[in-house]
Structure 1
């Protein structure tokens, strides 16, 4: 079988697992388990804490000691066990601890799936900029199908979403045994102590442009965590209004949210052209502006005819907001760093986005939501406008501080 098809299956299941619970777990915890906004934020912060610690460590191990495809299998076995257990938890503290263990296993698999993909494409002499986005898009397809499945089965407010995710984790662990062997690096980049400890990727911080890149990766990671945590609870809250109780948005909010992932498909496929033509700076600026529109449209949206239009527009711009930063950033790292630190550099990028950024995003956004809540009723328009202002300011600062000079390349056919 063509290596690209094998990678598509891997990425489909990788993101199917996440799609089963990432955007719906918050609503399950808030409306079924009666967790507060702060408690939901703390549970989601487990993903950030784990991503600070684990991707870099796992990346180092994958680069130097254990093949990435074997580590990938081990991580997904742990994910399966913790998701099955999380489905039985009703206490916020216990939920935090269980999801922390899950995140410590799952977050490294995102970077590992990228490393496995890049290494496999390289083994078959396939250009990563041209071939990775069409492969990665199947991860988005998996995410969409998972969201539709959970919504149509009425599992958005049920623990069944965690059981399905756990079952897929177990299946992916078995499938990973069929993936190409990813050799470890036998020769270090340097002979110093840092290299012996597996800290080769930290040399990237000696380059000012990479320092700025990783700093803004952190701040955009916070933005991504906000929409993952509170997008679904926001739509479920329209049920408080009797006028909207029977609307499709309230009944099947994940179907609306899945438009975001559908939009991703188009934007992912545009990445090879846009990245080669305009460069990483323009692509990341477009991402930040799209985040501003995402939150601004949320502030204007509701289940009415006009409000629904704004919600749909918010879903569409999400595709640009997420992919033009997350996937383009991963490709930028792949094309910039030495291949001998591929996994650890991808792990460092993941740490900034889904680690430090996600942690602060979860904690601070939870406090913002509670601050603009009175007797449990949330002022969602104000909440979303606060987040929109944040990303707008971020884009201005980025424009003046990221000094990257792009040399235009001809798009590959």
Structure 2
């Protein structure tokens, strides 16, 4: 979307920050809300299907929009439908696997990896069909989303686990029990760091493709593979994801959840630092290595974090708790990362002609990730307990 926004439409960078923040705005309330609905009122797989069909419809409409303000509102509506589906897909997976007595730590990553395979296919297909800067990217996404929505109705049934069965408090009746997790020091701290890491994820999502495509402005790099196939290069990140997802069971059982999440944060520092010094010639290896490191940075926090939430809550609030996790990472964290980075880059790191000071930008992001890493190592207390990982299968 960044390449489409800056090269095809030539719209403003500050407005782009706002548009990208729609993912975060929607995630502040929608995952938690739909989690409550799935826990209490409607089968999770049906809700998942309805949301994807609505999202796909919005994407197809977006491709016709030619006004940045209207684009913002349309993308906000699309994200309101899409963002809850990430947490719901986790809940559906956990529900189905537990009902069949599977080992979650071993089996869930093997299933989750196919989402990343889909991501790779989408990126490569969009790039190879020369649609990374055209409105057709929204058509591709829209058709795929509607197809997934229809398929969802064939999934195993995941009925509500927290139906009102008698006298309950207002909080229980409305499915708000999950918010009590913020009263637990460890969970509150976990959600805070989820927000800070969510901001880091937004930075690479927003600016990665634009950064690589901008090398075209330098004549010596104009025809390089980095410029012409930037989205394919970035797909290395998702290929890396597939490998690191499959490695999660080993790392979790060997090192525990805290160390795995700490490794993820160190990987974010490397992700940004390598981008700062990479280029399509002598520094090509740095760009490639940055994409490989991304797999560890993304998966080791998001997948491990989701499993951490699963071990820490009752099954009755499973969908709501996963929704809270998404609210903090892709909600408050995404809004923080999108809005602040847009303002800071526009004010301090954009030259008069509109070119961006990419090295300084990536070094700033690396410094941010390093501060978060140190704070997490110091303040998040969590002793590795192998039996807690094992409890995932019986929780």
Question: TM-score band, normalised by the shorter chain?
Answer: over 0.9
Q: Tell me how far 1:345 sits from its aligned partner.
A: 0.4
Alignment of 1:325-364 (within 5 A): 325-364=301-340
The aligned residue for residue 393 of structure 1 is: 371
Structure 1 residue 368 displacement after superposition: 2.5
2 CA distance for matches of 1:380 and 1:309? 17
Distance, in Å, in 1 between the alignment partners of 2:103 and 2:168 is: 30
Give yes or no for contact 2:162–2:316 (8 Å, CA) kept in 1: no
- Could you tell me which of 60, 77, 86 is aligned with 1:84? 60
Deviation at 1:187, TM superposition (A): 5.0
Gaps of 5+ in 2: 391-395
Q: CA deviation at 1:185?
A: 2.2
Aligned mates of 1:396, 1:124 — CA distance in 2? 40
Unaligned ranges ≥5, structure 1: 1-24
Question: 1:191 Cα deviation (Å)?
Answer: 2.7
- The answer for the alignment partner of 1:40 in structure 2 is 16
How far apart, CA to CA, are the structure 1 residues paired with 2:305 and 2:372? 17
SS of match in other structure, 1:355: helix
Q: Matched residues in 2 for 1:278 and 1:37: separation?
A: 41
Are 1:153 and 2:129 an aligned pair? yes
Equivalent residues in 2 for 1:144-183 (5 A)?
144-183=120-159
**2:74 maps to 1:101:** no
- Number of positions where the alignment pairs a residue of Structure 1 with one of Structure 2: 387
Match of 2:241 among 240, 259, 264: 264
For 1:320, the equivalent position in structure 2 comes to 296
Q: Which moves more between the two structures, 365-374 or 290-299?
A: 365-374
Equivalent position SS for 2:21: helix
1:378 aligns with 2:356: yes
1:196 paired with 2:169, answer no
Q: Tell me how far apart the structure 2 counterparts of residues 247 and 411 of structure 1 sit (CA, whole Å).
A: 46
Q: Confirm whether residue 292 of structure 1 aligns to residue 269 of structure 2.
A: yes
Residues 199 and 337, structure 2, Cα contact 8 Å, conserved in 1: yes
Check 1:328–1:259 CA distance in 2 against 1; reply closer, same or farther (3 A cut): same
Q: Distance in 2 between matches of 1:187 and 1:101?
A: 29
**Cα distance in structure 2, aligned partners of 1:147 and 1:276:** 32
Between 1:198-207 and 1:220-229, the stretch displaced more is 198-207
> Is the contact between residue 22 and residue 335 of structure 2 (CA under 8 Å) also seen in structure 1?
yes
Question: Hey, what does 1:31 align to over in structure 2?
Answer: 7
CA displacement 1:351-410 (0-9 Å, x = unmatched): 000000001111111122222011201100000000000000111111110011111359
Q: Is the 8 A contact 1:281 1:404 kept in 2?
A: yes
CA distance in 2, matches of 1:91, 1:205: 40
Check the 8 A contact 1:277/1:409 in 2, yes or no: no
CA RMSD after TM alignment: 1.4
Equivalent residue, structure 2, for 1:216: 193
* Distance across 2 between alignment mates of 1:405 and 1:207: 16
Aligned residue for 1:178, secondary structure, equals coil
CA distance in 2, matches of 1:169, 1:393: 37
How far apart, CA to CA, are the structure 1 residues paired with 2:202 and 2:175? 29
Distance 1:409 1:301 in 2: 43
SS in 1 for 2:131: coil
Contact 1:276 1:409 in 2 (8 A): no
CA contact (8 A) 2:55 2:82 kept: yes
Do structure 1's residue 408 and structure 2's residue 386 form an aligned pair?
Answer: yes
Q: Secondary structure at the match of 2:130?
A: coil
377-386 or 196-205, which deviates more = 196-205
Please state whether the residue corresponding to 2:2 is helix, strand or coil.
helix
